[in-house]
């Protein structure tokens, strides 16, 4: 019997993250369900009454941002994050591993900057009492999720770095 290609091989226990990815999956599923529910309700109301729930757009935009960030965190944990590997694949496996570690470290740095900038954004929203344009709730309620979810991405990318450093031949 011949070995399975990498895509079909089950990950070794050491390759799996310690914090279950189901956390991100549950948040993503809830966000997607709410987006679908809001959109469906808006379509039904428009069809039946020629009116619109325009204020629901800010909920949908917020939920799309949450969905994107938790999806990115899950992608980093599963080693499915977007990357350009054309030149890296031409190098020996050992160098490929170090290039991946470097890419993950740069990604972690980027999302640390996003978290820091996002926190400053939240602080400004709090300090100046900014409210949302649609329904007038404090804007920090929406923006506080940005630094937290960016830190989740940092944690997932650093977790991948740790798993790569533990095993000499692990991707």
CB count in 10 Å sphere of residue 12: 10
Instruction: Give me the half-sphere count of Cα atoms (radius 13 Å) on the Cβ side of residue 160.
Output: 27
Domain boundaries, the chain: 17-166
**pLDDT tens for the 171 residues of the chain, in order:** 455 555 454 455 556 667 888 999 999 999 999 999 999 988 888 888 887 777 788 899 999 999 999 999 999 999 888 888 888 899 999 899 999 999 999 999 999 999 999 999 999 999 999 999 888 899 999 999 999 999 999 999 999 999 999 875 544
* pTM for this predicted structure: 0.82
């Amino acid at each position: 019997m011949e070995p399975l290609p990498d895509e079909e091989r089950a990950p070794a226990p050491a390759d799996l993250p310690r914090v279950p990815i189901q956390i991100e999956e549950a948040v993503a599923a809830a966000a997607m369900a709410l987006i679908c529910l809001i959109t469906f309700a808006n379509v039904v109301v428009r069809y039946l009454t020629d009116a619109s729930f325009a204020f629901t757009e800010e909920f949908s935009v917020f939920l799309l941002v949450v969905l994107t960030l938790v999806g990115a965190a899950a992608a980093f944990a599963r080693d499915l994050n977007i990357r350009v590997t054309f030149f890296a694949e031409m190098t020996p496996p050992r160098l490929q591993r170090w290039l991946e570690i470097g890419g993950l470290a740069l990604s972690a740095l980027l999302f640390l900057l996003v978290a820091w900038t996002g926190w400053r954004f939240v602080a400004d929203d709090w300090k100046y009492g900014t409210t949302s344009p649609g329904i007038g709730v404090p804007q920090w309620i929406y923006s506080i999720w940005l630094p937290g979810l960016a830190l989740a991405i940092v944690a997932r990318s650093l977790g991948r770095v740790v798993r790569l450093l533990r095993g000499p031949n692990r991707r």
